[in-house]
Amino acid sequence: QVQLVESGGGLVQAGGSLRLSCVASGRTFSFNTHTMAWFRQAPGKERELLAMVTSGGTTAHADSVKGRFTISRDAAVNKVDLQMNSLKPEDTAVYYCAAVKGGVVVQTPPNYGMDYWGKGTLVTVSS
């Protein structure tokens, strides 16, 4: 089985930075066969896709966070990070790490076709 564990959430002031990490474990898991992604869900809002990195290393970021958030991975330790800069109060949400075998992330909330989900880490941005 595959387990995803997020960390790095917390309280920051607007304009600040935070780095989230997701560690994947499981005998069958590999970045070579899975696409990784970061999502978030704010209170009263639908879960949204923020960024993803394919098994081939290609990255993509949602328009809402493009230029501020950056996804990266470290295959040596099965870790996927989300570097968040210039944080805004609107970024306050629970942030989730997810994985899907293959390279397909469907545009259908709330699960987006993902196979595995972490439990989430809360990010709160104060004004």
pLDDT in tens, 58-109: 999 999 999 999 999 998 999 999 999 999 999 999 999 999 998 778 889 9
Q: Nearest Cα to 123, choosing from 52, 65, 61?
A: 65
Average pLDDT of every residue of the chain: 95
Q: pLDDT tens-digit profile of 37-63?
A: 999 999 999 999 999 999 999 999 999
